[in-house]
Structure 1
Amino acid sequence: MQLPVETTDSINKISELRNTNLQNILKKEIDKNALWKGLVAKNLMAIGIVDLTDMSNIKYAGINDNLMMYAASLPKIAVLLASMDAIENGELEDTKEIRKDMRLMISKSNNAATTRMIDRVGYEKIEAVLRAPKHKLYDEETGGGLWVGKRYGGGGDTNREPLKNLSHAATTMQVCSFYYQLVMGNLISDERSKEMLEIMKDPALHHKFVNTLDKIAPRAKIYRKSGSWRNYHSDSALVWGPNRRYIIVALIDNDFGEKIIRDLVVPLERVMKKARNLEKETKI
């Protein structure tokens, strides 16, 4: 199966893809679970989904999707993006060592490799790439977004984000936007988007979303980055298979966050299927 990259001159913002039916069905599904409903109400849980089944009619929905939370290792995708941008612009030499560190950073979430990449590109570069008008992966006017302002290890200076003083942050909307822009070939270039997807493919860690996807979608390609620290649990995945094509993202502040994320996959798939069926019915 080919990498899911669509070449296009311009793309919609992720917020412009919000679908009313998908949004309503998502809320109803989450509200069925008392724990999830309570976490959402307390701003301890955020979700984002993008249905890519029909690439000419991409649909987005989210709950607390502009709520920026501590996201542990998930924002390492921002370091990947900044590193690729630096390579593209001749600011960082493209070597086997750097390619190895980028893969270790994403697939195995290796902190030492990530810290080496952060030190190579610097906080100023990471922030500039995240704030770039083309990508807008961090924007105060929409609640913040992706941010990396601290090494994944001891020592060193910090560059915490300005809204909540977080070191490693994300909103589900901007993580969805990251994956969506990858699919559309909009992160740096079509070729660099493909390279980043290749690095993110076949994650070495099989927990959270991947634990469930291994069982229900063994033939699907999974492009993924997750994170956990204490009670903070996050996961994000682009799933590209014969019967499913979507992006799912979850941020949870709860001791049982890993299990919650595992348990979200089937309900989120059900939400997207219901929305597609409803759309078909209204067209008849």
Structure 2
Amino acid sequence: MALYGQSANFAPTAFNLNSNAAAKVPLRSLTDRQLQASLFRELRSNEKWRNLIDQKKMAIGLVDLRNPSNVKFAHINGNQMMYAASLPKIAILLAAMDALEKGELKESPEVLHDMKIMISRSDNQASTRMIDRLGYKKIEKVLTDPKYRLYDKNYGGGLWVGKRYASQGARYPDPILGLSHAATASQVCRFYYLLATGQLVSTERSAQMLDIMKDPELHHKFVNTLDRVAPRADVYRKSGSWRTYHADSALVEGPDRHYILVALVDDPEGEAICRQMVTAVEKVIQIRRPTAVRSSK
């Protein structure tokens, strides 16, 4: 099986919890009270963010992965489903990988290219072609699969794709809020956690997805800040924006940092809020900035 830019070995990140017993522990069971309290306190110290949180127009998910044997999860409005624009294209990617694995979709150069630019450039035409190849029911079947439950009515829904990224085409809205492109912060965190631990489709397909999601071409929101504070970090990422809706999600792996961050914001200043969110959560998990060393001469 030819993979996109990867060998068949699952080693796309140093984390590689696939071989660790902790990898099989559900993320929701790793909620950490101290991290939860710190995240809550830090975000609510900003008056604007506090108002957005109270209005359920802002949702955050954070997973501290620095210690594989002690993964910590926290969220605010984590089960609040929101319109997420292009972020749910990760659901199309997952459904495509499932279809490739089962022989329902041919692994052609055209399909591989569309998957890549759908994520790295957020190309709408490529995304629409992938939706047309798969169909809404296939995407829903994968998202609701008991192995993943990335859309689960018991937890407010989650990832959903029910409209082509084009002006024409029928809608297939989610059953709870009737949204076309939706996500919850907690479910997107679960997506990245399952991905990082090799549990989406297979270890090989998880590696392939990580390779596709690495080094995004769009350098806004989270990536704008990460370019400055962690230029050597590996970033696996998908974002989205439409009108006042701004969403970002990333698995960040680099010197002194290893975490998953998800933000969903309904506000005209959402892009700037996402930039600021990186600094806020790194403060929460106490990632220290390097300081200049004075010369002894």
Question: If the length of structure 2 is used for normalisation, what is the TM-score?
Answer: 0.90
Structure 2 counterparts to residues 59-78 of structure 1, below 5 A: 59-78=72-91
Aligned pair 1:219/2:265, yes or no?
no
Q: CA deviation at 1:7?
A: 1.7
Residue 86 of structure 1, aligned match among 90, 96, 99: 99
Q: Which amino acid in structure 2 is aligned with residue 169 of structure 1?
A: A
Quote the residue 1:273 is aligned against.
Answer: 286
**Cα shift readout 1:140-183 (whole Å, capped 9, x = no counterpart):** 01100000010000222221100000000000000000000001
Do structure 1's residue 139 and structure 2's residue 138 form an aligned pair?
Answer: no
Given that residues 14 and 173 in structure 1 are in contact (C-alpha distance below 8 angstroms), is that contact kept between their aligned partners in structure 2?
no
Determine which of 28, 31, 36 is the counterpart of 2:49: 36
Contact 2:214 2:235 in 1 (8 A): yes
Separation in 2, partners of 1:177, 1:186: 11
Correspondent of 2:114 among 101, 114, 134 = 101
Q: Indicate the SS of the match to 1:273.
A: coil
Q: Partner residue of 1:228? A: 241
Q: State the SS of the aligned residue for 1:67.
A: coil
Please, which runs of 5 or more residues in structure 2 have no aligned partner? 1-10, 288-297
State whether structure 2 residue 11 is matched by structure 1 residue 6. no
Cα drift, residue 219 of structure 1: 0.4
Match of 1:260 among 267, 273, 276: 273
SS in 1 for 2:24: coil
Tell me the equivalent position of 2:181.
168
Q: In the aligned structure 2, how far is the partner of 1:273 from the partner of 1:130?
A: 34
C-alpha distance in 2, partners of 1:153/1:70? 16
Post-superposition shift, 1:5? 3.0
Residue 32 of structure 1 deviates from its aligned partner by: 0.8
Higher helix share: 1
Deviation at 1:6, TM superposition (A): 2.5
| Deviation sequence 1:87-117 (CA, Å, 0-9, x none) | 0000000011111000110000000000000
- How far the C-alpha of 1:139 sits from its partner, in A, is 0.4
> Is the 8 Å Cα contact of residues 87 and 249 (structure 2) preserved in structure 1?
yes
Q: What is residue 5 of structure 2 aligned with on the other side? A: none
Question: Normalising by structure 1, what TM-score?
Answer: 0.94
Q: In the alignment, which residue of structure 2 is the partner of 1:181?
A: 194
Per-residue deviation, 1:14: 1.8
Q: Distance in 1 between matches of 2:55 and 2:284?
A: 22
- Counterpart code for 1:6: L
Q: Distance in 1 between matches of 2:193 and 2:285?
A: 16
Aligned to 1:278: none
SS at match of 1:7: helix
Aligned amino acid, residue 269 of structure 2? F
Gaps of 5+ in 1: 275-284
Equivalent position SS for 2:211? helix
Give how far 1:2 is off. 4.7
